[in-house]
Amino acid sequence: MMRAIARAMLSLYPRAWRQRYGDEVGDLIAARPARVRTVIDLIGGAADAWFHHKRIPGAKPLRVPLAAVLSVAGVALWLLWSQGVRAVAGAHGDWATAAGMGGTASGGGAAARLRDLATVLHVGASAMALLSVATLIMTCHTASRHSLYGAVTRMTARRVVVTAVLLALPVALVGLSFYSLTAGHAGPPVGPLGEAMAGGFHTPIILALVLSLPTIASGAPSLSSDVRGAGKLLAVAAVSNAIAWVPVAILMLLGMPGVTWPFVAVAVLSALAGIGMGALAGVSAVRLGRTAAAELSLA
């Protein structure tokens, strides 16, 4: 029992270490009595191996998975949005008065136009992200059902289609949340400033979710043209997502005397997180397209 646990501890070591020393250490575990101290030593050795990862022969630089980065950024964005909604709702009256709106909830004139511009840009970015994978999904649906495509392409195409079906619900929920805060006016009154900001917290989530489809499809060289097309549109969507924060910044400046510095900090962090998340998705999509095209040319 203890020997099996000790052997399982080898999975904690970096892959390069396991490839270089795994068999040798496994033989030592099999040849000697395994105790609790053995397991503890192996755990400590795993920590040391990761800490000195560069010293392992053949080790590659450690990279944080893109999915993990986007997931953490998404959680941070939602936490900031929760704080931002409360802050903008509490400061709305003061902000509206400072912006020359007399504390009205709906806004008018320049404030309303800036809100509408930000909303249109965010909606456009979200729609573009969804359209970017429409052709890819249709191609994969066709490829998954025809024997003309190779086994790898058919399997990859099925994964894309299944993933698209699974993503439909979370994408719909994000879109519904966006709609309820802007057109639906659900929740506390946040005025034109809060409504303009809303898309900045939802669009990057959609970009990150959609990115998973070309990522999966990039495993099949025959789907490279669709992956490249999806990457280009996702990049444009990321640019639109970033530009949408410009009218938000102008709106904040209009009523700056009426907002608190903590709210400004939340808004700035939200903008950085949203723009960064969208940019990461866009750049990754473009790289996927280029890599897929290069693999197709070599095939």
Q: Where are the domains of the chain?
A: 2-55, 66-298
CA distance 56 to 58: 6
The type of residue at 4 is A
Q: What is the pLDDT of residue 30?
A: 82
The model's confidence at residue 243, banded by pLDDT at 50, 70 and 90, is very high
CA distance 149 to 222: 8
The type of residue at 205 is I
Kindly report the pTM of this predicted structure. 0.71
Indicate the average pLDDT of the chain.
79
CA distance 138 to 279: 26
Identify the CA nearest to 220 among candidates 281, 286, 296.
296
Q: Which residue has the tokens 């994408």?
A: 171
Q: How many CB atoms lie within 10 A of CB 156?
A: 23
Q: What is the pLDDT of residue 71?
A: 76
pLDDT at 41 over 70: yes
Q: What is the pLDDT of residue 129?
A: 92
CB 229 within 8 A of CB 138: no
Highest mean pLDDT among 7-21, 131-145, 218-232, 262-276: 131-145
Chain-centroid distance of CA 219 in Å reads 20
The model's confidence at residue 59, banded by pLDDT at 50, 70 and 90, is low
Mean pLDDT of 35-39: 83
CB 250 within 8 A of CB 82: no
The model's confidence at residue 130, banded by pLDDT at 50, 70 and 90, is very high
Q: Which of 77-81, 158-162, 209-213, 275-279 has the lowest mean pLDDT?
A: 77-81
CA distance 190 to 111: 13
- What share of the chain in percent tops pLDDT 90? 13
Q: Enumerate helices (H) and strands (E) in the chain, giving the number of each.
A: 11, 0
* Sequence-ordered list of residues with C-beta below 8 angstroms from that of 60, at least 6 positions apart, any chain: 16
Instruction: Specify the DSSP element, H or E, that contains 55.
Output: none
pLDDT at 292 over 60: yes
